[in-house]
Amino acid sequence: MFPVTRPRRLRRSAALRDMVRETRLAPTDFVYPFFVRNGKGVRSEIGAMPEQFHLSPDTLVEEAGAAIEDGVRAFLLFGIPDKKDERGSEAWDDGAAVQTSVRELKRTFPEALVITDICLCEYTSHGHCGVVHDRKVLNDPTLELLAKTALSHAKAGADLVAPSDMMDGRVGAIRTALDGEGFEDVAILSYAAKYASAFYGPFREAAGSAPQFGDRRSYQMDPGNADEALREVALDLDEGADIVMVKPALAYLDVVRRVKEAFGVPVAAYNVSGEYSMLLAAAQRGWIDRERAILETLTAIKRAGASIILTYHAREAARLLR
Ligand code: PBG
């Protein structure tokens, strides 16, 4: 008790504070997401996500190379298709932007970890994450398409595939498809507890994936639920997920903590587009200190229990940690 106990004693100097710090960020915690399209020399800034770009495979290799110099080692790829259709068939086209980019990245940087997002919403004309019939998103017929997509990414050289569609049973379907073709070493990072969130707004502009009718509440989770997140995670682990993710991160740090405590498996959290753009917008207005806010945000996500953080701040944060 005071005056014997004085917590401030350990805050007196940077050396002391560093010595007793419980949570430390490292560039190896981060996964850097990129949006890729076919073409050459593409580098167009995304309106709702300042300083993030649509890239073609060649400019992606440049950007990834620069991030690798700064210490980032893992990348997540989203594809912008040349054409959309009802079923999203470009998703499993071996010549599509993601597949080409994976091949280029792995050829240039064999040590880099390349993760691909598995979903149909960027590729479908209606913008939903699965097959649509009578304005309903059908679960089971979607599984085969997701599995084909994962297989095509694995063939291109992806180290991990990350299903983000929230169809039931997709982890198992993807695992079976991968194992059936000799890709038993390709890992699955499942978006296990993915909420129907307003914070994906900027991403939908970036990926051109806003639903053309309705919303995603019949497949993504209700923000009020956390017990359900544990059930979702348990199902995905049973089906063969290697890493489970909670998404978004900031409004769901309690869920990150509960998943970590309940399962003790590698937990990832996605610091999503809306979280990124809010921070940048406030910093641009001079309302918050950009660099401190980035590091504080990422530290909070790690402190909550995520050892892997998917973030558009990855390169800047890695540089700040140098
Ligand atoms: C695709 C997908 C989304 C995000 C990742 N994968 C959007 C969505 O579900 O609408 C969001 C990522 C972000 O906001 O940064 N289903």
User: Ligand 1, residues 200, 215, 278: which to mutate, most atoms within 8 A of Cβ?
Assistant: 200
Rounded Cα gap, residues 31 and 315, in angstroms: 9
Using 50, 70 and 90 to split pLDDT, how confident is the model at 15? very high
Residue 244 tokens, joined: 């489970």
Using 50, 70 and 90 to split pLDDT, how confident is the model at 63? very high
Is the CB of 32 within 6 Å of ligand 1?
Answer: no
Catalytic positions, please? 194, 247
Look-up of token digits 């080692």: 73
Is the CB of 257 within 6 Å of ligand 1?
Answer: no
Residue 241 tokens, joined: 């997920």
**Distant-in-sequence, close-in-space partners of 240: CB < 8 Å, separation ≥ 6:** 171, 172, 175, 188
pTM: 0.97
pLDDT digits (tens, 9 = 90+) for 123-159: 999 999 999 999 999 999 999 999 999 999 999 999 9
What is the overall mean pLDDT for the chain? Answer: 98
- 122 CA: nearest ligand 1 atom: 1
Helix (H, G, I), strand (E, B) or coil at 94: coil
Residue 131 is predicted with a pLDDT of: 97
- How far, in whole angstroms, is CA 210 from its chain's centroid? 17
Are the C-beta atoms of 167 and 222 separated by less than 8 Å? no
DSSP state of 195: B
DSSP state of 242: S
222: phi then psi, degrees, rounded to nearest 5: -75, 130
Is the CB of 203 within 6 Å of ligand 1?
Answer: yes
